[in-house]
Amino acid sequence: MSDTSFSFAQQHSLFPELAGTVAIAGTKSPLSLDAGLKLNTHSSAPVLDQAIHDVGLALQRFATDPNQKATIEIAFGEGVNLEAANDLLQGWAVYDFSNVPKLGIRLGSEINNADGAFASDNETIYLSSDLLTQNAGNPDQIAAVLLEEVGHFIDFRINQYDAPGDEGDIFSRLVRGEAISAADLLSLKTENDHALVTLDGRSVAIEMSQIQMTEVGGRLYQIHRGTDNNSMYLASSHNGKDWNNWEKIPGETLNAPAITNYKGTLYVAHWGLDDRIYFASASEAKAGKWKALSDGGAKTPDAVAMVEYRGKLYMAHRGQDNGMYLASWDGANWSGWRKLEGQTPDAIAMAVSQGKLYIARRDMGNQIFIASLEGDSDASADASGKPGNRTSSMHSPSQTSMANCTQCIVA
């Protein structure tokens, strides 16, 4: 952040009361900031004030809505602990949000490049500082992300196990009055939204809203799946602060699209609604000129991973049989899909370090494995890898980020 910033004292509330003034410490505020938080006083803080204000009003409306039980069951399932839900809602109905988690602001890289995240082990909601900077004039977007993470918190409090799919997104949409079609609800119910990140020196399992990011030709690019019929949106910046408007890309996906820099060109890949993998340069994608990769391993129920390695673009994904598949592209032709050893219930991560291509996965027993591919692109790969820490069975990560996995590796 810039030097023109200030620190909020611990537990200083940002939630404005209905009269329009900012509540001070000691009031029954819905969200409070953790110690040491710094925000740019000229952009992020005012919009966060407004967003938190809007979240409080939305939660109060939800708590007094006679149809609240239906909303709870749609978002979190029918087997929830309604008594625990009522304990939360009773306070919210009278504008008492003392039981809502504290709020922390982190760099996007610290929370797996997500807009927001909820960590159940310390009951903290995290927002990306990039989200605040990019939406300095758009409190509605920040409020939507906050409500999504509040939804993850509710699920943690009222469900014995994590509800299937992205229950936070479902809750956020319903509370904000958005209609959800049957197709959208189905895709949200099957979405993965977990990760393992390192915050303040320790591993934390989070539920997140994911964005992919890379650099090409001195510009930073971001891509994400929107909430409007699974559309994809792309934006870029020359300095990481000033971003152009989000550009809608033709095509639909049920998970985070992937982007990477290959030989100075931006490439995009995504999981299609027909479970096939689609690939294109950014310019081709903007024109709707997607290439469906061939069968024989090119179908997936998850997001794909892409990275450049030794002059080729590598792509990996989880197959419909929970196997792992790897292919490479030399700019003209794709290799055949190779099935790697091992299985995974989730998306695969890849990264290049010190001349090696690393592949990480979570196995069927919730252990994190990592393996490397060395030498020529046609060399064999054994992705059974080395086991790392076993992840928690409750709110366990469903996608391992290579950037945050070094603490998981056992030599």
Distance, in Å, from the CA atom of 377 to the CA atom of 310, rounded to the nearest integer, reads 7
Looking at the predicted structure, is the pLDDT value of residue 10 above 50? no
Going from the N-terminus, what domains does the chain have, and what CATH number goes with each?
Answer: 5-208 (3.40.390), 210-408 (2.120.10.80)
176-184 average pLDDT score: 76
Instruction: Say how many C-beta atoms besides its own lie within 10 A of residue 161's C-beta.
Output: 11
Looking at the predicted structure, is the pLDDT value of residue 206 above 70? no
- What is the model's pLDDT at position 36? 34
More confident residue, 79 or 118: 118
DSSP state, 97? -
254-261 average pLDDT score: 86
Render pLDDT for 344-375 as a digit per residue (tens, 0 to 9).
877 888 888 888 888 888 877 767 888 887 65
**Percentage, residues of the chain above pLDDT 90:** 20
- What is the model's pLDDT at position 204? 45
Q: Is 199 helix (H, G, I), strand (E, B) or coil?
A: strand
- What is the model's pLDDT at position 293? 85
**With contact defined as beta carbons under 8 Å apart, do 309 and 262 qualify?**
no
Q: Which two tokens stand for residue 115?
A: 């807009």
103-125 average pLDDT score: 83
- What is the model's pLDDT at position 187? 59
- What is the model's pLDDT at position 106? 85
